Amino acid sequence: MKTRVLGIVLGVLAVLFISSVAVAGFPTLGVGQGSSDIWVMNLHDTEDAGVVASYINQIGDQDASVGDTLDPLGNTSFPASSSGLSDGWVGSMVLYSDRELASIAELQWRNQPKRDGWSGAAYSGYSEGANELLFPYVLKSASHKSIVTIQCVDTVDCEVSMSYRSRDGVAVTGNPFTDTIEPDSQESYDLWDPALNPNIPDQGDTPDPWYGNLLVTSSQDIAGVAVVHFQRGYAAAYNAFVPGTDMETYMPFVLRRYISGEWKRWTQIVAQNLNNYEITVFATFYDREGGAPLLTFSDTIPAYSSHWYNTRHGAQVPGGASTFDALGDEFLGSAVISSTEPIVGLSTVLREGVAGASQGLPYGSGTLVYPVLYRTKGGGQWTGYSAVVVQNLDPDDAITVHAQFLNSDGTVGVEFDADIPANSAHSYNTRLGAQTPGGAGTYSPLGTSWVGTAIVSTTSPDGIVGMVQNTMKGSGYGYMTNYNPVEQ
């Protein structure tokens, strides 16, 4: 008998191409046509995994299914183009297997009205649902729109209740907004389109900029993902948080790069207060080479609020943008956000017209699994490459990690040991090398048509956290996707 071990919310929109109209009055907020490809990895190291992917429409019925057998530690994709579904289909996916799986949803949009017309995003699949989901970074303005997708991962209808609060903790008029979602199906809530989903705040066609957070509750099990579309033509996705009692969040990949008179890369960190009273948080930033922190500051966050710390613009950081001058103009490192009260954190990386988001993580793991990575060329040009980022959570000592880059059949293509200083994060980039021992040439055995996975492990008792950044580019297009690895 097969056991359902992973349910996936299929991001905004679709498995096959669908049209998405522009926002009235703000045509540059149109997102183009979107599709979703799903990557699946077998986590068993000695046994094959039989996998069935079931496509569920928005009333909870299965419209199609496809299957495959994965080698031990192997991966494969279920692309939109192979689903057999028609254009315009919107729904969710549920994976069934006799083995434990890890999965990533990759989203792609074409024909956007800005830049090269392309954008992309990614997020991790879910192994189980929860009764509370928190989205700390939700936006509606002339420059942004958020689309939140909720999947019912229960065997009965999910009755959901949605409460929106501003970035300053002020509850939105009309809370809570309610809806019913059928088993295994999903509903998407576009904050710019109350006609499509009336279960959202309606600010009309010309709102004041609204930045805030969303808490979704249900007596049934639910899962969720948010996608933020930026007016500049890029997008970022992140998994919903399950509110807990953690008082630290680790950000493995933080940038501030102002080079040759231009902003090249920067990061926005979101820290969310989960409590009904104000709290103080402490932010500490470490260089990738280790050593004492380059910057530490504290901030007071009101009840149920989310404050933003942008290494380029400042946002709500005390002292404004100049606070980050302490990092210099070529900073690449990590951050730790802590408090004496429960918090969650999110990191969004912006880079030369592309963006990606990933969760801050509250604790370390001995093993991290990255279910899809790239090292590909086409026509002599790089079309895909990946940065595997790993942060050492030991506050005092360097640690050693063992990294394995695996082929799609689960065999080892490249492996090495690497040392990471205390509190620091290193990046292993399949094209550029970065902090990889031996540099970029270490990955030469993978070739230039490689799509695979990675497993990074340590014996350090404090463990490691990580994220991955996949860069996809070609003739006339380019986008970036970030996601969190699976912990083992």
Report d(CA 21, CA 242) in Å as an integer. Answer: 32
137 vs 262: CA distance, rounded Å: 27
The Cα-based distances of 92 to 60, 84, 104, 152 in angstroms read: 9, 15, 13, 10
Q: Which domains does the chain have, with CATH numbers?
A: 3-239 (2.60.290.11), 248-359 (2.60.290.11), 367-478 (2.60.290.11)
CA dihedral 413, 419, 420, 421 (to 10 degrees): -170
Residue 417 one-letter amino acid: D
* pLDDT (0 to 100) of residue 56: 87
Q: Is residue 456 within 8 Å of residue 401, measured between CB atoms?
A: yes
Are the CB atoms for 73 and 41 separated by under 8 Å? Answer: yes
The residue among 30, 36, 246 whose CA lies nearest residue 121 is 36
Cα separation of 1 and 476, whole Å? 47
pLDDT number for residue 343: 98
Residue 16 has a pLDDT of 40
Backbone angles phi, psi at 444, to 5 degrees: -55, -40
- Cα separation of 468 and 123, whole Å? 10
Provide the pLDDT for residue 117. 80
- The number of beta carbons lying within 10 Å of the beta carbon of residue 413 is 19
Closest CA to 280 of 306, 300, 308, 260: 300
Residue 254: burial class (beta carbons within 10 Å; 0-12, 13-18, 19+): buried
Please return the burial class of 10, using the count of CB atoms within 10 Å of its CB with bins 0-12, 13-18 and 19+. buried
pLDDT digit string (tens) for the chain, length 488 residues:
233 334 444 333 334 434 444 555 566 677 878 888 999 999 999 999 999 988 888 888 999 999 999 999 999 999 988 888 887 788 888 888 888 999 999 998 887 777 788 889 999 988 888 999 999 999 998 888 899 999 898 899 999 999 999 988 999 989 999 999 998 888 889 888 877 778 888 766 666 788 999 999 999 999 999 999 988 888 999 999 999 999 999 999 999 999 999 999 999 999 999 999 999 999 999 999 999 999 999 999 999 999 999 999 999 999 999 999 999 999 999 999 999 999 999 999 998 778 999 999 999 999 999 999 999 999 889 999 999 999 999 999 999 999 999 999 999 999 999 999 999 999 999 999 999 999 999 999 999 999 999 999 999 999 999 999 999 998 788 899 999 999 88
Report the candidate in 409, 420, 423, 421 with the shortest Cα–Cα distance to residue 452: 409
| Tokens read off for 409 | 């059949």
pTM of the model: 0.93
- One-letter amino acid at 197 equals N
